[in-house]
Amino acid sequence: MNTHVIELIVNGDLREVAVRPNLTLLQLLRDHLRLTGTKHGCGTGDCGACTVLLDGRPVNSCLTLAVEARNRTITTIEGISTSGTTLHPVQQAFVEKGAVQCGYCTPGMIMSSVHLLRTNPDPTESEIRHAIGGNICRCTGYTKIIEAIETAARAKKGSGQ
């Protein structure tokens, strides 16, 4: 059978998995590794619900082949809180600001926001809008999401993180 055995690091853990070439990274995460926080929306790159960090950068896991993640580092929504018991500042701000309605876009939205604040700790509103340009939300109208990201940026600055 046409399978490839690959190693990759998922949320800090080294994993060894056997994958068919036509398995997407999204299917690997959700169906094989049971990390169902990452969502499947469109499957064609349009919605951003499947966003994960690959070697630190947000990508659409629905359009990434699992075999292409060989020897690379993946961070999903399950892996952003460092303690495992408290929420990441961006998650906390999303809860506080009411930036979550149905919640389907939320994991992807948060992954894009986490990356934004790592590379640009003090973004303008326009920079925030651009950073989440690839994440579609059909519920909130984005206003609360943008407020949450601004709040998280301020909180991170305050805590010196």
Partner 1 sequence: MMRLPPFRFHAPETLEEAAAILADKGSDAMILAGGTDLLPNMKRGQHTPKHLLTLRRISSLRDVRNGSGLSIGAGLTLTQLLSNQTIRKDYTALWQAAKVVATPQLRNMATLGGNICLDTRCNFYDQSKEWRKAINYCLKKDGDTCWVATSSKTCLAVSSTDTAPALVALGARIRLVSSAGERVIRLEDFYNNDGLDYLNRRADEILSEVILEPVSGWKSTYWKLRRRGSFDFPVLAVAVAVKFTDDGTVEDARIVLGAVASMPMLSTDAAEFLIGKKIDDEVIRETGRIAAKIARPVNNTDLDPPWRKKVIPEFIRYALREVRGDDISSLRQRVAHQSRS
Q: Rule CB under 6 A: which residues touch ligand FES?
A: 40-43, 45-50, 60, 62, 100-106, 137-140
Tokens of 152: 């998280």
| Main-chain phi, psi angles of 69, to 5 degrees | -90, 5
Q: Which of residues 115-134 bind partner 1 (CB under 8 A)?
A: 129-131, 133-134
Q: How far is the CB of 86 from partner 1 (least distance, A)?
A: 27
The answer to whether 107 and 52 have CB atoms below 8 angstroms apart is no
x-or-dash string of contact with ligand FAD, 57-76, rule CB under 6 A: --------------------
Return the number of the residue (41 or 89) whose C-beta is nearest ligand FAD: 41
161 part of the interface to partner 1, by CB under 8 A: no
Residues 36, 116, 13: CA angle, nearest 5 degrees: 40
Alpha-carbon distance of 130 to 92, in angstroms, equals 22
Q: How far is CA 17 from CA 4, 6, 52, 60, 65, in A?
A: 8, 6, 18, 20, 13
Residues in contact with 95: Cβ distance below 8 Å, sequence separation at least 6, in sequence order: 87
Please pick, from the candidates 12, 45, 121, 133, the single residue that binds ligand FAD as defined by CB under 6 A.
45
Q: How far is the CB of 102 from ligand FES (least distance, A)?
A: 3
Q: Which does 113 bind (CB under 5 to 8 A by kind): ligand FES, ligand FAD, partner 1, none?
A: none
**Closest CB to ligand FAD: residue number:** 45
Which residue is it, tokens 């989440």? 132
Q: How far is the CB of 69 from ligand FAD (least distance, A)?
A: 16
46 part of the interface to ligand FAD, by CB under 6 A: yes
Length of the chain in terms of residues written: 161
